[in-house]
Every structure is written in C-alpha cells, then in structure tokens.
Amino acid sequence: MTQLTPLFPRQAVPALEVPTLDSKTWRLSDQKPENFTLIVVYRGLHCPICSNYLRDLNRKVGDFAERGIEVIALSGDSEERARKAQEDWRLEGLTIGYDLSLDAARSWGLFISAGIGTTSIGVEEPALFPEPGTFLVRTDGTLYFSSVQTMPFARPHFDEMLKATDFVLAKNYPARGEILDHTAVQAAE
C-alpha cells in the first residue's frame, strides 16, 4: 500500500507524468510557465460536480495564462472516458490528462475512493478513483498552494484563485504552511 503523505509548501512536489488528449505526454518537469503550473485533479466522467467545475476552469484558462499560469486538468479515467468528458462538458480550451495512477495520486496526497455504482448522471463510477485536488506549483517545482478533498464538494473557486494570484504576484507573497516540525521551531524559541 502506498502511504498517504501530505505535500508541504516550499518543498519539491513528486514527479508527475500523464498522457493528454492531444496525443502528447505531459510532464510537470517539462513545464516552463512564467509563474506557476495549476494542476486540477478531478474525479472523472462520472462526477456531475466535476463537469461544472471544469467548465468554469475552461472559461478561465485565458485568465490564468495572462498571469503566467499554465493549466492542466487530469483524472484517473481512461482515454475513452476522458475524451467523452472533454466532448460532453465542452472543454475545448483545457489540456486534459488521463490515466493518473492511484500510486501517483497517493504520492500527491490525494484520497482514493471506491466506486459505489451509477451516479446521478447515469455514469458508472470506476472501481477506484482519486478524489479532487488543486495544486499550484512554482517554476522551481515546489508546492505553493494545495487543496485536497475527501469529497467532490467545496473546492477552491477559480475566481478567488485568480484574485489571490494577483495579490501573490504583486506582493511576492511567500508560500505558507511550510513548517514541517513545529516542535523543533518551538524548542528553538
């Protein structure tokens, strides 16, 4: 079993590589954004909340690009399911990755759920799949921001993320939550 470990801001994130629907292999290490890479992990084709969430992201890809932020949305879905999501959800402007392995999902601190049948939109859940996560990674490969869910609900709003990145970039605001061992810091005081 792969151990679930949290990622910490200002620390290097794990390697990440997935195929994309544009027939390329997307590697985090290959990304060269001006400021950040935004990685949005979604549950998959079966999730009606994901469809609305990714449609909103699709509308804002240009807004992120204006801020020097490259965007990818990815899931553990197969190519066929990812392509159906792209078509049905009209995600023409968004890079879509697929086949995220459960081990890779775990290395990013994501929670894994077991499928429980057909969802409200009539799509069968996979046997196992990662729950959502949103990650903002600096150009040096360190984590700046993350939000990891155990449920499909209450994800970060992209409008708020855009406003926050405006502030972050204007003020050179540091990543927070970086303390790995609070007891060592307290002992040093």
- Residue corresponding to tokens 């972050």: 168
Q: pLDDT at position 49, please?
A: 94
Q: Indicate if the pLDDT at residue 2 is higher than 60.
A: no
Q: Where are the alpha helices (DSSP H) in 67-125?
A: 79-88, 102-107
The predicted pLDDT at position 9 comes to: 94
Token pair 């903002």 is found at: 136
State mean pLDDT over 4-29. Answer: 93
Q: What is d(CA 152, CA 20) in angstroms, rounded to the nearest whole number?
A: 23
CA dist 105 and 102 (Å) reads 5
pTM listed for this prediction: 0.93
Tell which CATH architecture fits domain 17-188.
3-Layer(aba) Sandwich (3.40)
What local confidence, expressed as pLDDT, does residue 183 receive?
72
Distance between CA atoms of residues 123 and 117, nearest Å: 8
Q: What is the pLDDT of residues 111-142, one digit of tens each?
A: 999 998 787 877 788 889 999 999 999 999 99
Structural domain spans, the chain: 17-188
**Least confident window among 11-20, 74-83, 111-120:** 111-120
